[in-house]
Structure 1
């Protein structure tokens, strides 16, 4: 009977769960888990546990979710048996936790997802096999009783255990993967937090492995080996993974004192050799019990541990009475648990006996049903046989009667022989009786002679008594023989009556044959009627299938007609498509047309799928062809391409119509392929017309822009060096210091840019050399004109940015320009060089040494740009410190006047800043628009 929890007990239970499942990355303490387990025995359920567990922030903290899974696993294994039943309704809660944290593909997220899947699988396993306890420990007899000694149940149970083991192995692999197999992590709190749940997983895996081995041997004793090939392959894979799991766990110092793991054998069991089963030994996983501390024993008086981890209570003599009362309460609780266990044992035994009776009844019912089924089958076979006999051998009736009469006579003769045999045995027994009497007389004579030698009188009396007793026994034997004779006579009479009954039964069989003949004729008529109905249904099914095919092809025709109609839609004039993309769609359309060339008219599924594929792909191709015609600079040529798309659509419609009418499609396929190739050729012509003469001069244009970029960078570097020399000659003090810092940082940046351009040239030459093959460099640039345009654009941007940097530095040094211009110029250079690097990286080999050097040079430019920005900020601070306002001699009126002027200046600057930001955004939009048009 469940004990009622008081408010204090519930509070302690909640505190124990909060200590067990917290957000600290440390392993769960066993004393707190033990308190939760004992609480389930108090309440004889897991309802109180789940009521508090679901309040924990498992959806907010991944450590809480991980520890919750660990505690739930321990509760299911070691808690009250009803915990498995109460937890079934919380499978969705576990699934939501796993799905939430499963979005994190690594670390705790992946482990939580796999742990929740393991717990859900465990609950499903116990739901299907309720006689397995939570710790999975059963005897061989119990395992056989659970399966009902049915080979089908063994087969299904093995599959379920394999699935269980797969979830355990996936979880351990994720745990060890999160540690990167670093063994030192097992001695840290974070590592132990991840490794602790593997202990119950090992306990489950050990039991499941043992049962799988035993059941696999039992299956191989009954079923052919080829049927179990899949089971053997799956077991071998799990054996290797489980052996690796045990070895990895045994090597960790953390598990040395917590669990003893027996090693698996070097080779897996050979289920094809029964000798391996005799040598197989079940190996148990041992988990040593942790010693209980004194404060734990005190707190177990209420079965809930509320000891603070950071505080140790000091016991003294004044607490002796409290300790004694706590021990007495522990004893009472243990007696209560012992009585509950005994009650549960009786209930389980009663349930097992009831289940065995129910199984026996069901088996009897199944056997009866199988017998009835076999009887019905035999009756059907007999009816068919009777039908054939009546149609082909009507004359055999009389002969069969004679044969059956002979059988009866033979049976009577056998009974007669049996009677004669019994009678002979009776006579033989009488003769044996006479011989026994003779021996008795001889024995009596000898006895008399002996008695006369000693006490003749007494011996005579004793002999007389013995003789009387023997005669009495012989009289009883005679009566028994008479009784046997009567039984034999009765048997003969019964045999005669049985013979008469057989004669009557024979006449009944003849009448039954006539009845069965009539029934067989009726069944024959019904069979013909069923054949006619089946033929009609097949014709109706064929008609419906053809209707479905026609409707599907008509739908495909509607899709294609809609695409042809949309070609004339004015809204499509704004749509653009590149000829290269249209060319990429050609192969898919050709493939769908080739698939329709040889289709059987009865293969309705292939006809429907092919027609749908043709319609969708050509509808897309026609609309993209219309979009491609919009980019043609020649309007007449674009209209010609539009008309070609319409003609292609009409050709494909004729092909679909031939498929619907089940006609030959070779001619229509050929026509559609020709029209498709015409559209593709027109798109290629548009592509060539867009390139024009510029495609022939791309190589020269690229080389010109690269030379212009080199020249701009070289001029900027020389000019900056001249400005530094002039500043040192003309300036002094703060101004000289500022100029030197700025020009030095700009010089460093220009050197980094020069190195980047040099590495870019090396990589460009490598790309051209690898990509052109036997063609010339001009042909390579022409073939890759989009990449070449991007490279030219990047070179122009670098040159413009270098000139802008030079201008900004010159203004700062010579005419008191703004330092912010230098920041903008440096950032623009960084962006331009990044564009150059990206343009170079597009066609470069990922393992190229030149690409790695270019990337390193790009990082150098970034570092130099940061140096320029930092130098500008430093110089700005120096200038501000030098120009600090002197307010020591100002009057109140002067200070107020300057304050008002400063406020006016602030408002003006804020307005200018807002206007400049609006101007910058507008320029950027215009720049993006120009860039998009140039790419198109």
Structure 2
């Protein structure tokens, strides 16, 4: 907490500053500087310091000025942090001090000027970079936080530090250059007085050099080397000067006991090689402990801890000293506590910032990994889709080949099956035949046995059974035939069995192959089902995304149309107007996009159709509202505005149907009917605006064209008459002027005649090409706006011709001004230009009449320029004839004429300003009337 200084404390503080900053050419004593620094912590500002410092005779004594700069530098570095803020308002005082002593180009004068420049630069540096403390000491993390880890901030900060170092190097060069080895060396009071301020300069330079090296490496890691060429050259120059400065300082005996300066390396860091940054080591400047207080009391400042008066004598002196020491110790403890708290808070802030930066880095890395994974998944999805398509094609090909092979095998199996069935039937038939043969054989055996019995009986009855011998022979023959047949049947059966076994083996192989093919087919079918399922999911997801895209796009179109409907109630639209013909021209585009909406089924067509519908109808609704403003009947205009609103609501339903993919035919038909209704209302406005005027447009145009021809002819004849009269009545300069002016006006009127003639030809061509089977009156009625423009142009030409005639008449009769003639010529040129534009609007670009009209327009422009040039030439002739003769004027007469001329100039300037204001009002009124006539 800041405490209030008592008057005695302030007196002690003032005495300390006076002892520190005095006129003796000796170095500032550090105990007095410490008192000044402690005082800034007591008051928590530098206001008291500056209040007493500015009272010192720094403007009268160069030593006082030099020591003041030294003490200010120390206070800015080691004083309360608010000293940097409070000192900002005293930059002008420092600048004035430097300018005053800067007139002394040598010695202290130049050093004071450079020192004040250094202090001002230091204050500017801290103003732009307020997070740097006065002693410039920050950590690497704090340096990155100050720059925001932005390469642009690093770039600018490097330039500011280079400027800071330049001021330090210039000051040290001036100090060493001012030393006289015979009188002012480092071991004399005068030399030490000059060298003492270099200690804080070395402390600042050490920090700035360290930061420059680190920032330069960061810049070279982010920017191309060519961009930093200027930075490297400037750093190299400062490196050499700083190294020389350190060497010169280290060699002086005065500095050896006060400060330890680390030497710079032989070679500067190579910023193009990042390895040099890893080998770079920050070197700190070490300041030795300050000298103890001197025993003498003559110039002893207030005690370091307290500025309370302790000189009061009496019995309570020792107690007061004890109280003073206790207060001092309490203040020191409080200061240390506050410093520890500041360091703790700074450490916590750095920790939080480091953590946040790490979190940000992790999140960025996570985002990068997710984006990489997403890209990988997308590529894998594309590859999987390709593999799936290949598998589908392969499965289809395998299925087709398997179907063909299975078909062939089935056909072969069916053939083998038929053969097997046939053989089996034949085998069964043979078995049956064999059973019959065996039965027959059994019966035959029985017959043989019977035959044997018969043979035995024959032997017994040989003579009596002679007729049975023949039957026995027949039976033998049958037996042989039966045996032969049996052998054949056995062989056939064996062959059939072997063929059956071979067919069984082949059938088993075919069955096995069929099972394998079936298993493979089931596997392929399973994979195909999985692929189809995945494909279905992807198609479903794609369909959902496509539907979302369609819905979003159509919703955007709906918002556009809703905005247009809401704008119908905007009061600002009441100032806008639109012609009914233009509104009618927009109807077809709206109808076409509504028709397209009925066939829009695909998403792309829905999006484009909805966008077209929204934009076209938004424009149509707003233009319809503007058309309402042209109606003289307010109720009718409100009715048309309400119709536009209902049209917008119907179109919104159409867009909603497109978004939800429902039938919109009912709303489309309603919107088309409402479109026709709005267009019909606009046509009603058109008819009400024209009234009876539409029927008489052709007559009005012809009447105005005749009036224009009559005015031009009359003007040409009058100009010729004026020329004849002037030749008869005038002579000399006046006749010459009148002839030139009237000749140029005659040439202009002839050019206008040609222009009007060509305009008539082009007008007839336009009417002939545009009316079709209708009459000329119908053409003028249908194109009433163009006709109104043509009538307005003809009126303007007639009025301008009459104005030109009047101006020429006044000039010839000496009652007018040449400027009126210039204005008249320019006005008639503008009027004929309006006639040309009105004719060109509906003309064919390749028309010969249009080309002739353009050439005639250029002729009018040339003739107008001739009139203007002639008027200026004649004005010079008149001025030369009326030149003022000042040869016989006295001094008083000349002064009187000069004053009258100045009065006249002021009057003319005022009249010119008033006339310009009047011209502007007339032009605005003319434009307003012209706009009303066109509507």
Normalising TM by the smaller chain, what interval?
Answer: 0.3 to 0.5
TM-score by length of 1: 0.43
